[in-house]
Amino acid sequence: MNKRFALAAALVSLIAAGALFAENTVLINAAGATFPYPIYSKWFDVYHTKFPNIQINYASVGSGAGISQLLNGTVDFGASDGPMTDEQLAQAKIKVLHFPTVLGADVPTYNVPGVSTDLNFTQKALAGIYLGTITKWNDAEIANANKGVNLPSSDVVVVHRSDGSGTTYIWTDFLSKVSPDWASKVGKKTSVNWPVGLGGKGNEGVSGLVKQTPGSIGYVELVYAIQNHMSYGKVQNADGKFVKADLAGVTAAAAGAAKSMPDDFRVSITNAPGATAYPISSFTWLLIPSQISDTAKRDAIKGFLNWMLEDGQGYNEALAYAKLPKPVIAKEEKAIGLIH
């Protein structure tokens, strides 16, 4: 009888402890950019291990969807590879703050039969390909930058994202800077009216189409290309140098912006100056409401932001993301105080 009583008491105690844990659990929902998903997934898992009562659920649905869900109030915070526009910020019921998290890059990946070397792409070539004015792989603009490479006369098949994405924002932001025609006819957005090409959903869709379509070219995130062992080309930067994307090139692209980062952190580093700068680089941002009425969620989010800026940065390079410049981290740590 005593054993039964002890067992029952232990069960009641266990249930009570479980209920108390559930009551103290802080559940935070977020959604947005696919570009930083590998590092965000790592961060949220590590942070949950460190603080078991804090659970951050992140839906990797694309920057456009992340911004929409934030504005609709269906998530606690959003994420985007392109900063919110003035128009989007004006739609927000509560002021939205931008917090840069990591640095990454877009790369051109291609499937050209008979070509196994890293191709050089001039700025004019990439703009022309995506505008549909360069239609053959042996076009002079491509051939002149790749002396000695036997380029075929086959058609160039353009592949782009079909969904709204920060990856597209970065790509089109770059093209808008290097091509007046692109800027006037297409512009920069997470989703644009593409002049030519086939659409694939996500990095997976784009890379799948490129792999199965001879003569194709597409753009994917650097980390995705590395993890999936995809070949990608060098891109001509603002100094006229052909640079293959790597962490050093992405860091070099951010060097200038770090010195003059605006207070709202909305800055573009595509086509940045510098001989070693990779030109299709970008910050990516968490989009945090400045007012969070739930004190437990507010404290948990602020705590995560502080951890992300310090300990979290140590996980970046293993996943092919560049660390934030120290001046940017210092500025962000002060900005966390704006969340109340």
pLDDT digits (tens, 9 = 90+) for 205-239: 999 999 999 999 999 999 889 888 888 999 999 99
Joined tokens for residue 99 = 């917090």
- CATH 3.40.190.10 occupies which residues in the chain? 25-103+283-338, 105-259
Task: Evaluate if residue 158 carries a pLDDT over 90.
Answer: yes
Task: Evaluate if residue 16 carries a pLDDT over 50.
Answer: no
Q: Which residues contact 189 (CB under 8 A, 6 or more apart)?
A: 82, 164, 168, 169, 172
Residues 281, 105: contact at Cβ < 8 Å?
yes
C-alpha 238/C-alpha 241 separation (Å) is 7
Task: Evaluate if residue 17 carries a pLDDT over 80.
Answer: no
Among 259, 285, 289, residue whose Cα is nearest residue 273: 259
- Residue 162 CA neighbour count, 13 Å, CB half: 10
The average pLDDT across 293-317 equals: 97
Per-residue buried b or exposed e for 230-244, using 16+ beta carbons within 10 Å of the residue's own CB: bbbbbbbbbeebbbe
| Per-residue confidence (pLDDT) for residue 7, from 0 to 100 | 57
Report how far apart, in Å, the C-alpha atoms of 178 and of each of 94, 186, 311, 340 are: 35, 13, 37, 41
Neighbours of 172 (CB within 10 A): 26
| Per-residue confidence (pLDDT) for residue 256, from 0 to 100 | 85
The average pLDDT across 52-68 equals: 94
The average pLDDT across 80-84 equals: 91
* pLDDT mean across residues, the chain: 92
Task: Evaluate if residue 264 carries a pLDDT over 80.
Answer: yes
In the sheet that holds 26-32, the strands lie side by side as: 54-60, 26-32, 77-80, 281-289, 96-111, 216-221, 157-161, 198-200
The average pLDDT across 125-153 equals: 98
Residues 111, 211: contact at Cβ < 8 Å?
yes
How does residue 165 score in pLDDT terms, banded at 50, 70 and 90? Answer: confident
pLDDT digits (tens, 9 = 90+) for 266-277: 999 999 999 999
> Domain 105-259 has what CATH class?
alpha beta
C-alpha 255/C-alpha 93 separation (Å) is 34
| Per-residue confidence (pLDDT) for residue 24, from 0 to 100 | 83
What percent of the chain is predicted at pLDDT more than 70? 93
| Per-residue confidence (pLDDT) for residue 106, from 0 to 100 | 96
Phi/psi of residue 30, each to 5°? -140, 160
Task: State the residue for tokens 């076009």.
Answer: 139
Joined tokens for residue 311 = 């300990």
Q: Which fold has domain 25-103+283-338?
A: D-Maltodextrin-Binding Protein; domain 2 (3.40.190)
Joined tokens for residue 205 = 């869709």
Joined tokens for residue 72 = 């609709």
Give me Rg for the CA atoms of the chain: 23
How does residue 324 score in pLDDT terms, banded at 50, 70 and 90? Answer: very high
Task: Evaluate if residue 12 carries a pLDDT over 60.
Answer: no
Task: Evaluate if residue 1 carries a pLDDT over 80.
Answer: no
| Per-residue confidence (pLDDT) for residue 83, from 0 to 100 | 92
| Per-residue confidence (pLDDT) for residue 19, from 0 to 100 | 42
| Per-residue confidence (pLDDT) for residue 162, from 0 to 100 | 93
Neighbours of 198 (CB within 10 A): 17
Fill in the amino acid letter for 77: F
Joined tokens for residue 94 = 């509560």
How does residue 186 score in pLDDT terms, banded at 50, 70 and 90? Answer: very high
Please give the full DSSP string across 139-158, using - where no structure is assigned. Answer: -HHHHTTSTT-----PBPEE
| Sign of the C-alpha dihedral computed for residues 336, 263, 67 and 309 taken in this order | negative
